[in-house]
Amino acid sequence: MQRICVIGGSRYFGKLLVKRLQAAGHQVTVINRGSTPPPAGVEHLVVDRNDEAALTAALGSRTFDVVVDQVCYTPVQAAVAARAFAGRTRRYVMTSTIEVYDPATAALAAVPPGTPVPEEIVDPATWLVAMDLPWHDEAYLEAHYAEGKRQAEAVFTRAGSFEIASARSAHVLGGGAQEFTGRLAHYAGRIATGEEITVHAKALPTVFIHYEELADLLLWATTADFTGPVNACSDGPLDVHGLAAIIAAQTGREPVYRIVPAGEEASAFSFDRHYAMNNARAKELGYSFSRTTDWLPGAVAEALTIEPSPTA
């Protein structure tokens, strides 16, 4: 049994992670702002993780074997957590994102299309951190999501007071209405009703992961001994046409496409730039991934039962 703290853990794969940690016999504490209580038997600390004094007070004398941070988006948040948990935990696992590799958001080393992107393309040990940017501004943060995650990883890596690992998650799907972005429901709904989907003329592949698999990987990361980033994605990249074909097979309707030029915005999962991840490091460390095409039809079936989001 380990003492594990989850920051966030109120929805989707974070909520599932809490349940699986508890089922595995761990003593679990959840920290969030209180909108959703955790399962019975899980300690709940209601506090804003951005308020360092309040967070430190809420933690009191508690110590943990592992902290899993589901909701760190900026270097400022990372710095607060690094100070608050210094001396309180031996290991810290941060949920990061595939977006750290998006070449549209930073000057990154070029990776040829078709070559899966490895972790070393974004090295948190050398990444520049700028704490004085307007990270508290919601509009700025939304526009700089990828950079916020890169800099947060960098802050934790340099903190030096605990082991740090990060799981750079692919696009997360599955769970029907739990999939709060609504992207898969958006595609399923438009294809089922014959509405057009905007795509790039030369759409490039991306990678996905089922929300249950991501929860499992994070559970594994709490007991593993690696440090640094690992890419978390199921085997088998898909481009937007491959995704649409799986949906079409279940709806009996062929997708209707509208082509947009490179550089223009298209629907989610149509990409005109390459950053599909390589999951070889996680495999070498002992994690086994599923294939995207094994679970995606089931996720599509779930998505077809819900109303698509008009803003997805």
- Asked if 82 contacts 129 with a C-beta cutoff of 8 angstroms, the reply is no
pLDDT value of residue 177: 83
What would the two tokens of residue 294 be? 């094994």
Say if strands 208-210 and 228-232 run parallel, antiparallel, or are unpaired. Answer: unpaired
Note down pLDDT in tens along the chain; length 312 residues.
Answer: 899 999 997 888 989 999 999 999 999 999 999 878 888 999 999 999 999 999 999 999 999 999 999 999 999 999 999 999 999 999 999 999 999 999 999 999 988 878 999 999 999 999 999 999 999 999 999 999 999 999 999 999 999 899 999 999 999 999 888 888 889 999 999 999 999 999 999 999 999 999 999 999 999 999 999 999 999 999 999 999 999 999 999 999 999 999 998 788 899 999 999 999 999 999 999 999 999 999 999 999 999 987 644 443
Which helix (DSSP H) or strand (DSSP E) does residue 199 occupy?
Answer: strand 196-200
Q: What string of DSSP letters covers 133-153?
A: S-TT-HHHHHHTHHHHHHHHH
Rounded Cα gap, residues 114 and 109, in angstroms = 15
pLDDT value of residue 28: 97
User: Which residues face 259 on adjacent strands?
Assistant: 199
* 3 state SS for 73-104: CCHHHHHHHHHHCCCCEEEEEEEEEHHHHCCC
Indicate the domain borders of the chain: 3-303
Fold of 3-303: Rossmann fold (3.40.50)
Closest of 243, 217, 219 to residue 231, by C-alpha: 217
Handedness of CA 79, 80, 83, 89 (dihedral sign): negative
What would the two tokens of residue 194 be? 């014959």
Rounded Cα gap, residues 288 and 304, in angstroms = 29
Cβ atoms within 10 Å, residue 138: 9
Counting Cα atoms < 13 Å in the Cβ hemisphere of 141 gives: 13
Q: What is the pTM of this model?
A: 0.94
